[in-house]
Amino acid sequence: MILYTPPDGCLSLSETLDCGQAFRWKPVPDGRAAFCGTAFGHTLTVSQADNDFCFDCTKTEFEKIWFPYFDFSTDYARIRETVAALHPLLADAARFAPGIRILRQEPWEALCAFIISQNNNIARIKGIMARLCALFGTHNGADFTFPTPARLAACTAEDLAPLRAGFRAKYLIDAAKRVDIGGLDLESLRTLPLPQAREAMQTVLGVGPKVAECALLYGLHRTECFPLDVWMKRAMTHLPGVKIEDFGENAGFAQQYIFHYARMHPALFR
């Protein structure tokens, strides 16, 4: 059991784990403000008590898995200030959910999650992700892990029918094949120049500009990425004079603040 307080004072479990960036964290029914989820093969229950966060894991596991996963080495207080300074509406968005952090998720899982996300809603994305793990992942004693590329690459579209992922099933299989034996090295995209990284992502069937941007942001922490989904397009019309280039290295953070704010306040964005 590890007690930890982020040095920047920024973390809300609900804002971070249920803001549309990750789809496999669930509130613990009987716990207060606790969440349970799985990443990198490890399952964690995390809860909050005042300013402390309680991580139900060993010190080693916290240091190797969860500290980087929650991006605790980044100063989110400073990022919020920088984003908020660009426009009053951005200040509102950053103030609305000040506990958002951009998780450092597994590249392969993030790619699959946002392939599934296309023309889909968040509640249903969560369901498909849960079935994907239950059917093709392995059980670690507490939860199902995310299936490996090799496991999905061995599947046919009919095999994936129980997911009820619709037309996205064939996209998942193509992604799996590219990553498994097709020469697509997701880790290499962590440092590849962004235009080439985007191009590489989009070699996967079903991965266009938006999914590529999400996979790079959430899976490889390319924070200069700025996914333009339907909500963001609406939001941008309310940010006259603000250009995506203005966000620079903070684009991904800004996008997540705006996305969450817009989704929670649909009336403000037409």
Partner DNA sequence: GCCCAGGTATAAA
Partner DNA sequence: TTTATACATGGG
Task: Scan residues 19-38 and list those touching DNA (CB under 7 A).
Answer: 19-21
User: Pick the catalytic residue: 26, 64, 170, 210?
Assistant: 210
CA distance linking residue 221 with residue 229, whole number of Å: 18
Minimum Å gap between C-beta 243 and DNA is 17
Is 44 a residue that touches DNA (CB under 7 A)?
A: no
Q: At a CB cut-off of 8 Å and minimum separation 6, what does 154 contact?
A: none
124 binds DNA (CB under 7 A): yes
Q: Quote the least distance from Cβ 241 to DNA, whole Å.
A: 20
Place of tokens 């240091």: 63
- 120 belongs to the binding site for DNA (CB under 7 A): yes
> Residue for token digits 């697509």?
184
Residue among 68 and 127 whose Cβ is closer to DNA: 127
Question: What is the smallest separation between the CB atom of 268 and DNA, expressed in angstroms?
Answer: 14
DSSP code at position 54: E
Query: What gap in Å lies between CA 21 and CA 80, rounded to an integer?
Result: 18
The pair phi, psi for residue 234, each rounded to 5°, is: -60, -45
In the stretch 196-215, what mask flags binding to DNA with x, by CB under 7 A? ------x--xxxxxxxx-x-
Read off the amino acid at residue 53. Answer: F
Span from 16-24, 52-60, 61-69, 185-193 in contact with DNA (CB under 7 A)? 16-24
What is the distance between the alpha carbons of residues 255 and 217, in angstroms, rounded to a whole number? Answer: 10
**103 contacts DNA (rule: CB under 7 A):** no
Quick note: the x/- pattern for DNA over 145-184, rule CB under 7 A, is: ----------------x--xxxx-----------------
When the beta carbons of 38 and 256 are compared against DNA, the nearer one is 256
Q: Based on the shown chain and the rule CB under 7 A, indicate whether residue 41 belongs to the binding site for DNA.
A: no
H/E element, 6: none
264 sits near DNA (criterion: CB under 7 A): no
Give, for 167, the enclosing helix (H) or strand (E): none
Does 194 engage in binding with DNA (CB under 7 A)?
A: no
Q: How long is the chain?
A: 270
Question: Which one, 57 or 79, has the nearer CB to DNA?
Answer: 79
For the chain, counts of helices (H) and of strands (E): 15, 5
Distance, in Å, from the CA atom of 112 to the CA atom of 129, rounded to the nearest integer, reads 9
Residues 6+ apart with CB under 8 A from 261: 92, 93, 96, 97, 235
- Catalytic site includes residue 243: no
Which residues carry out catalysis? Answer: 210
What residues line the site for DNA (CB under 7 A)?
19-21, 114, 117-125, 127, 161, 164-167, 202, 205-212, 214, 227, 229-232, 255-256, 259, 263
